[in-house]
């Protein structure tokens, strides 16, 4: 029934990171459906007044649940979201059975596909030689190239190294345009989950320079690379391929995981220009399965309109500052 992103352990980390997690259940007596939601990280003063909520890979369902239970759950979530002044709720929910009978659409949720409904599942019961052989040829060559160029993988050993990882992660967030977790979130994961064997941070180094990092989460026998980050100008060294291969081997041998899962990729390679995450995530072997659906619901249209106006003014102000700075030069 459970997964890390709907677990008490994740709740504890979110609470320490001041992301205001809360739990909603339905129905109250039997509790056959429940979910853990939280506030997205505060990236500006504006976001404190216009919070958005996230449900990551939920809800959690009992075997005897039905669509009425999910309907009640979503209504309870909407009620709590309004109490908290949220403008929007985003849900990444397992597929199926959570999407059956159109219960999300009936509650005003809109389904969208950012190219991430599928996952790759790698069977770690196989021996290391078999796992290596099932990787694509260019992936094996990339791992060899990284090793030959003296890229080293080390466990994050102290706070200074964790901050270096977080800085690489912030660069990645800016490049890929997503809201990053705070350093306090990283610190809570390392201090609370790593001693329990649930999480492990690794970084790729080239000489004295950290160039990429990965956070592996191990829960119910499954290892997931929850956060991966890298410096784009170091991609030619192939640190990401080496990091993921190291994580696969570590998950099998040290963490004793049965599977290794890479979340959120499309069904096939996109013809559009840009970074090809499909090719990267499928190059390590494994099976491609349909994993989840993405839904969102606007809770407060008026606050959303106001936020868009504030954001527009903020962008204009920033552009004006840049022009003034250039004129001064």
Q: Mind listing the pLDDT tens digit for each residue in 119-155?
A: 999 999 999 999 999 999 999 999 999 999 999 999 9
Same domain, 267 and 177: yes
Same domain, 285 and 314: no
Report pLDDT for 222. 96
Tokens standing for 319? Answer: 């552009």
Q: Note whether 213 and 201 are within 8 A (CB).
A: yes
Same domain, 80 and 174: no
Same domain, 136 and 282: yes
Q: Is the peptide bond before 89 cis (omega within 30 degrees of 0)?
A: no
pLDDT band, very low/low/confident/very high, at 2 (cuts 50, 70, 90): low
Report pLDDT for 210. 98
Same domain, 87 and 223: no
Burial of 126 (0-12, 13-18, 19+ CB in 10 A): middle
Report pLDDT for 317. 47
Burial of 240 (0-12, 13-18, 19+ CB in 10 A): buried
Pairing of strands 52-56, 88-94: parallel
Q: Is residue 164 scored above 80 in pLDDT?
A: yes
CATH code, domain with 153: 3.40.630.30
* 3-state SS assignment for residue 292: strand
| Residue 100: closest CA among 136, 61, 55 | 61
Same domain, 50 and 186: no
CATH code, domain with 39: 3.40.630
Same domain, 173 and 278: yes
What is the side-by-side order of every strand in the sheet holding 287-290?
151-155, 199-206, 209-219, 222-230, 259-265, 118-123, 287-290
Report pLDDT for 277. 84
Report pLDDT for 271. 59
Q: What average pLDDT does the segment 11-38 reach?
A: 93
Lowest mean pLDDT among 72-81, 87-96, 262-271: 262-271
Same domain, 106 and 122: no
pLDDT band, very low/low/confident/very high, at 326 (cuts 50, 70, 90): very low
Same domain, 129 and 15: no
Into how many domains does the chain fold? 2
Same domain, 144 and 252: yes
Q: Note whether 37 and 22 are within 8 A (CB).
A: yes
Q: Note whether 59 and 295 are within 8 A (CB).
A: no
Same domain, 93 and 159: no
Same domain, 192 and 239: yes
Instruction: Work out the percent of the chain whose per-residue pLDDT is above 70.
Output: 89
- Domain ranges, residue 183: 118-292
Tokens standing for 44? Answer: 């500006």
Report pLDDT for 29. 79
């Amino acid at each position: 029934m459970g997964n890390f992103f709907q677990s008490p352990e994740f709740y504890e980390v979110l609470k320490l990171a001041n992301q205001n997690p809360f739990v909603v259940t339905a129905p109250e007596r039997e509790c056959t459906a429940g979910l853990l939601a939280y506030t997205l990280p505060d990236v500006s003063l504006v976001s404190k007044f216009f919070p958005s909520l996230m449900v990551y890979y939920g809800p959690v369902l009992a075997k005897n649940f039905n669509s009425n239970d999910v309907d009640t759950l979503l209504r309870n979530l909407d009620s709590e979201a309004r109490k908290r002044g949220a403008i929007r709720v985003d849900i990444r929910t397992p597929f199926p059975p959570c999407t059956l009978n159109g219960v999300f659409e009936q509650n005003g949720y809109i389904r969208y596909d950012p190219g991430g409904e599928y996952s790759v599942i790698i069977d770690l019961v196989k021996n290391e030689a078999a796992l290596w052989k099932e990787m694509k040829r260019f992936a094996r060559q990339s791992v060899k190239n990284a090793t030959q160029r003296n890229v080293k993988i080390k466990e994050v050993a102290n706070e200074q190294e964790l901050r270096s990882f977080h800085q690489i992660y912030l660069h990645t967030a800016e490049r890929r345009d997503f809201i990053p977790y705070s350093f306090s979130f990283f610190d809570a994961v390392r201090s609370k989950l790593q001693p329990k064997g649930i999480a492990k941070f690794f970084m790729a180094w080239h000489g004295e320079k950290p160039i990429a990092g990965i956070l592996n989460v191990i829960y119910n026998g499954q290892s997931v690379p929850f956060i991966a980050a890298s410096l784009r100008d170091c991609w030619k060294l192939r640190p990401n391929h080496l990091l993921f291969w190291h994580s696969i081997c570590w998950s099998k041998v040290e963490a004793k995981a049965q599977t290794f899962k890479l979340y959120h990729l499309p069904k096939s390679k996109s013809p559009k220009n840009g970074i090809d995450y499909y090719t990267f995530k499928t190059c390590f072997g494994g099976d491609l399965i349909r994993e989840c659906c993405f839904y969102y619901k606007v809770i407060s249209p008026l606050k959303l309109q106001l936020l868009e106006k504030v954001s527009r003014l903020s962008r204009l102000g920033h552009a004006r500052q840049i022009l003034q700075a250039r004129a001064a030069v």
